[in-house]
């Protein structure tokens, strides 16, 4: 099959899922064409059957806003015609599903019928998409996709509650390549990350307000009073500066490392003893799954899709949003007990295996088949 994948190229989960999916599909003889405004961060175009096309939006002074959707739908039409694409898989409703619908209509004029599979990832529904400015267009794009998937049951329920959806929504969870994690585990080294006597606590996100990074600092401030430990904050975004300031104000600036966007995330995760994800809401929480695949238990908020990933009292703990005292007390309990921590690490990895790429990608292939019916 020749598949076109449209995604955001950034460090965010939707781009990661789209990229890893495309790479896996390319290994089984499919040809995958990626279309985005920049090369997706995890994409390797030296791989066989993988192609990348950049959407270019010329800067024209007359426009106050440059028309990205227009450029994207035109690029889609060109890509489908030139490379004889069989199916488009768009990740994130805004504006990808909308642009794909426009491309589908344009292609129909050339007697080309291209199925569109839309995958909803989270903020396209819960944070941005449901805003009155976008709602009619998002509703329309979802209803006019040939097939729609969401990354968790929780996101499916939110979508049905927030929009007037006539389409069935299939749930296909996020995934990780457990083989890759198993191989990396043998090379995992915590050298230079912390002192041998310190526990390592970590957090990875884009530091948007929804991630509640100040809760991460607050929880860690309580942990380090009882357990010798160090916090590694990976990523960058709007709340980074104030989180750094908060750590300094609390007198723990020297115990918290803000390492920014890192290509060494795996080493940090596999060296960690605990991962914190206290988000206001996560449709799934790919970062939590990646931590678990690296044998690191997770303390997360009991919101959105996180309870579909983390098993309370087994692979981690789930706590209501904002209850940092409770999060800290679970963390201290775990980090002070070697046997319990070991049990949780094993359970985290066992749970992560349920989301192995080999189990999840066939579900997308099944969706593609249905899209042709």
- Which positions touch ligand GMT (CB under 6 A)? 12-15, 17, 92, 121-123, 151, 174, 206, 208, 210, 281-286
Sign of CA dihedral 268, 272, 277, 278: negative
Q: How far is the CB of 93 from ligand GMT (least distance, A)?
A: 10
Query: CB 357: neighbour CB atoms within 10 A?
Result: 17
Sign of CA dihedral 145, 147, 148, 151: negative
Angle between helix 338-353 and 324-335 (nearest 10): 110
What is residue 91's three-state secondary structure?
strand
Could you tell me if 121 and 90 are in contact, meaning their C-beta atoms sit under 8 angstroms apart? no
In the bound state with ligand GMT, the residue whose beta carbon lies nearer, of 239 and 273, is: 239
Q: Compute the distance between CA of residue 303 and CA of residue 248 in angstroms, rounded to an integer.
A: 29
Could you tell me if 88 and 117 are in contact, meaning their C-beta atoms sit under 8 angstroms apart? yes
In the bound state with ligand GMT, the residue whose beta carbon lies nearer, of 208 and 240, is: 208
Q: Compute the distance between CA of residue 297 and CA of residue 334 in angstroms, rounded to an integer.
A: 9
In the bound state with ligand GMT, the residue whose beta carbon lies nearer, of 120 and 227, is: 120
In the bound state with ligand GMT, the residue whose beta carbon lies nearer, of 221 and 285, is: 285
In the bound state with ligand GMT, the residue whose beta carbon lies nearer, of 258 and 355, is: 355
Q: How far is the CB of 12 from ligand GMT (least distance, A)?
A: 3
Q: How far is the CB of 312 from ligand GMT (least distance, A)?
A: 18
The token pair that represents 139 in the structure block: 């509703």
305-309, Cβ contacts within 8 angstroms, sequence gap of 24 or more: 305/151, 305/152, 305/153, 305/154, 305/155, 306/277, 306/279, 306/282, 307/154, 308/152, 308/153, 308/154, 308/173, 308/284, 309/173, 309/284, 309/285, 309/351, 309/355
Q: How far is the CB of 337 from ligand GMT (least distance, A)?
A: 30
Sign of CA dihedral 330, 188, 216, 225: positive
Torsion, CA 343, CA 349, CA 352, CA 354, rounded to 10: -90
In the bound state with ligand GMT, the residue whose beta carbon lies nearer, of 94 and 319, is: 94
Q: How far is the CB of 283 from ligand GMT (least distance, A)?
A: 4
Q: How far is the CB of 252 from ligand GMT (least distance, A)?
A: 25
In the bound state with ligand GMT, the residue whose beta carbon lies nearer, of 223 and 288, is: 288
Q: How far is the CB of 172 from ligand GMT (least distance, A)?
A: 10
In the bound state with ligand GMT, the residue whose beta carbon lies nearer, of 148 and 151, is: 151
Q: How far is the CB of 284 from ligand GMT (least distance, A)?
A: 4
In the bound state with ligand GMT, the residue whose beta carbon lies nearer, of 285 and 297, is: 285
In the bound state with ligand GMT, the residue whose beta carbon lies nearer, of 4 and 15, is: 15
Q: Compute the distance between CA of residue 73 and CA of residue 149 in angstroms, rounded to an integer.
A: 21
Ordered alpha helix ranges (H), the chain: 13-27, 68-83, 98-108, 123-126, 135-143, 153-162, 178-185, 213-226, 240-249, 265-271, 286-293, 324-335, 338-353, 357-371
Q: How far is the CB of 91 from ligand GMT (least distance, A)?
A: 8
Q: How far is the CB of 94 from ligand GMT (least distance, A)?
A: 10
What proportions of the chain, in percent to the nearest 5, are helix, strand and coil? 45, 15, 35
Distance from the Cα of residue 322 to its chain's centroid: 22
């Amino acid at each position: 099959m020749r598949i076109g994948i449209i995604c955001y190229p950034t460090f965010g989960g939707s781009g990661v899922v789209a990229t890893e999916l495309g790479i896996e599909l390319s290994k089984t003889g499919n040809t995958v064409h990626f279309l985005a405004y920049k090369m997706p961060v995890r994409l390797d175009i030296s791989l066989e059957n993988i192609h990348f096309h950049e959407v270019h939006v010329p800067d024209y002074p007359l426009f106050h806003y440059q028309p990205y959707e227009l450029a994207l739908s035109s690029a889609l039409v060109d890509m489908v015609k030139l490379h004889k694409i069989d199916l488009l898989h768009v990740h994130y409703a805004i504006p990808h599903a909308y642009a794909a619908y426009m491309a589908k209509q344009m292609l129909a004029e050339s007697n080309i019928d291209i199925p569109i599979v839309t995958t909803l990832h989270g903020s396209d529904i819960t944070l941005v998409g449901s805003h009155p400015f976008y709602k009619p267009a998002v509703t329309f794009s979802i209803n006019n996709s040939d097939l729609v998937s969401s990354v968790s049951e929780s996101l499916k329920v939110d979508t049905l509650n927030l929009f007037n959806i006539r389409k069935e929504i299939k749930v296909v969870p996020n995934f990780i390549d457990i083989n890759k994690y198993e191989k990396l585990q043998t090379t995992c080294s915590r050298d230079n990350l912390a002192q041998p006597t310190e526990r390592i606590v970590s957090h990875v996100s884009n530091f948007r307000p929804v991630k509640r990074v100040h809760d991460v600092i607050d929880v860690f401030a309580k942990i380090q009073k009882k357990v010798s430990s160090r916090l590694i904050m990976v990523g960058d975004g709007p709340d980074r500066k104030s989180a750094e300031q908060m750590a300094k104000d609390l007198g723990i600036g020297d115990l918290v490392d803000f390492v920014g966007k890192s290509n060494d995330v795996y080493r940090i995760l596999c060296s960690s003893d605990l991962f914190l994800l206290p988000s206001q809401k996560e449709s799934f929480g790919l970062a939590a799954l990646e931590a678990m695949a690296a044998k690191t238990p997770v303390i997360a908020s009991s919101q959105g899709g996180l309870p579909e990933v983390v098993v309370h009292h087994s692979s981690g703990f789930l706590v209501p949003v904002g209850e940092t005292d409770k999060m800290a007390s679970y963390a201290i309990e775990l980090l002070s007990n070697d046997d319990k921590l070991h049990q949780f690490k094993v359970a985290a990895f066992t749970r992560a295996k349920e989301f192995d790429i080999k189990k999840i990608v066939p579900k997308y292939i099944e969706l593609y088949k249905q899209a042709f019916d």
